[in-house]
Structure 1
Amino acid sequence: MDLRAILTDDHGALSGVPKQSMKDFVVQKIATFIATGILDLGDPLPSERELAAALSVSRETVRGAILILSTKGILSVTQGTRTVVASTEVGELAVQSARYRDISGYSLDDVHEARLLIEGQVARAAAVRVEAATLGTLAKSIEAQEAAIDDPVRFLICDREFHTTIYRAGGNAALADIAADLYSYLLDHRRRAVAQPSSIATSIADHRAILAELEARDPDAAARAFAVHETRIYTTTKQLLTKSSRKR
């Protein structure tokens, strides 16, 4: 399958909405990173080359998307300096931004249980249905993650792409959307968690294990690998929240 046919948005290739241009796709992706807290006000964006690698698109596409977002006042582009987030008011540019806000109302334990159930099902389906081209995309995503091992924000951008690519590969639009919503939970805290020593390297190792089981077409093993990874995310996030509450 042509990569451009699946990279329309987080759920467009499954739910039958009209295809977007690749530039619109990147606009939507960057807006979603802002809406979910991966990128915050004043944060510098990764370079065009880094974003292109993370999103599997060309640098020209990234450049065009940044220009669109800068004309809307969401990004600030100054010659000779890094492009930064100028506003977090992305409106409807982000996919399902209202749902991202709503998901924050749930407890960490509830979200953890839901992710185990839904991601397990998605992983099983993906192990059966994933195409060779998608496996290649996931492998390249891991390469981009390794290049971001000292950059928590850039790593989370790659991390989100890795997860949502697998969600779509499961072939169920409803489950893919729900899984993506649950992934967005407390991403501002995840930024702090992945900044801890060895955290990114551990996540990359988890991702390699997940990819290996998808390549082996083993549904149960893929679900177990996802569960190990999700439980690690739950544990580190809970530890971070506990530390934060003690400081108050």
Structure 2
Amino acid sequence: MGNATFLDINNTSLEKVAHRSVKDEVAERVATLIASGVLSVGAKLPSERDLAATMGVSRETVRGALLILSTKGILSIVQGARTKVISGNVGNLGLSALSNGRVTDYSLEDVHEGRLMVEARLSELASTRIDAKTLDALSALIKVQEKAMNNPVNFLIADRAFHTAVYQSSGNAVLSDLAATLYSYQLDDRRRAVSKAGAIAQSIADHRLILAALVARDADALAKAMGVHERRIYDSTRELLANPTNEVKT
């Protein structure tokens, strides 16, 4: 599966629901990771090659997105060195709730209920509207996730790409953006939760069930698979917050 195929899919999805370039979308994804704390000031980003694979776009698109963040003083790009985060102030890039520093305004329970409701409706739409190219992209993203089994940050980048592709396949811009916003709350807690042994493997198994339901165009099976997955995310994050001393150090 080549990057060009991913790029075509992302262009198609964005034309339907976002009306912005893929480069801008990638810049917003990276900004979200910074705003949520997954990538803190001083953190080094994955290589352009790895970012391209985990986000499902071309290296040229990644390079352009990083340049956007660099010109805004968010990233430092030095020839021969890994790109580094130098500012946590992402301004109006990414999701507004995150950029305004309101990552923890909503409780875990509220976010959980919101995701269940929104994703249930998205399941109905996506099961009938998703196309073959997006199904291929989701399959490829699962393979990328398998390669990130021991890298929580890379896994979450690919994980977000997977969920975003499902959301955008619904063809509903409002629901897609809302679901993506809810996904991004407490993302740094999610990073710590997936650092636990077996957590990434379980998420990948959940993703396979989601993909199987999409391939079958089975809305009920998709809603169930996404609901089980969200419940697992909720339980693991709640456990982490209740017992912070048990988290895995990364």
Q: Deviations over 1:84-107 (max 9, x none)?
A: 111111111224345874462222
Q: Give, in angstroms, the shift of residue 117 of structure 1.
A: 1.5
Matches within 5 A, 1:1-248: 2-6=8-12, 8=14, 13-14=16-17, 17=19, 19-20=20-21, 22-97=22-97, 101-102=101-102, 104-244=104-244
Is the 8 Å Cα contact of residues 99 and 181 (structure 1) preserved in structure 2?
A: no
What TM-score comes out, normalization by structure 2 length? Answer: 0.88
Tell me: CA distance 1:220–1:154, structure 2 relative to 1, closer, same or farther (3 Å). Answer: same
Taking a change above 3 Å as real, the CA distance of residues 246 and 34 of structure 1, as seen in their structure-2 partners, is closer
CA, structure 1 residues 246+215, in 2 after alignment: closer, same or farther (shift >3 Å)? closer
The DSSP-based 3-state class of the residue aligned with 1:31 is: helix
Question: Greater shift after overlay, 47-56 or 205-214?
Answer: 47-56
| CA-to-aligned-CA distance 1:130-187 (integer Å, 9 cap, x gap) | 1111111111111111111111011111111111111111122221121111111111
| Cα distance in 2, alignment partners of residues 84 and 175 from structure 1 | 33
Counterpart CA distance in 1 for 2:78 and 2:11 is 33
> Is the CA contact 1:100–1:181 (under 8 Å) kept in the aligned structure 2?
no
TM-score (norm 1): 0.88
Give CA-to-partner distance per residue, 1:3-26, whole Å, 9 cap, x none: 253354xxx6325x4x42x43332
CA-atom RMSD in angstroms:
2.3
Report the AA paired with residue 5 of structure 1: N
Instruction: Give unpaired runs (5+ residues) of structure 2.
Output: none
Q: Distance in 2 between matches of 1:39 and 1:141?
A: 21
**Deviations, residues 34-58 of structure 1 (Å, cap 9, x unaligned):** 2233322222111111111122221
Percent identical residues: 51
CA distance in 1, matches of 2:40, 2:50: 18
Moved more, 52-61 or 71-80: 71-80
In structure 2, relative to structure 1, the CA distance for the partners of 1:68 and 1:178 (3 Å cut) is: closer
TM-superposed CA distance for 1:241, in Å, is 0.5
- Of 47-56 and 218-227, the range deviating more from structure 2: 47-56
Cα separation, partners in 2 of 1:5 and 1:217, compared to 1, 3 Å: same
Shift of 1:215: 0.3
Gaps of at least 5 residues in structure 1 are none
CA–CA distance in structure 1, aligned partners of residues 124 and 92 of structure 2: 32
Q: Secondary structure at the match of 1:93?
A: coil
> Which amino acid letter does the alignment assign opposite residue 71 of structure 1?
T
Aligned partners of 1:103 and 1:182 also within 8 Å: no
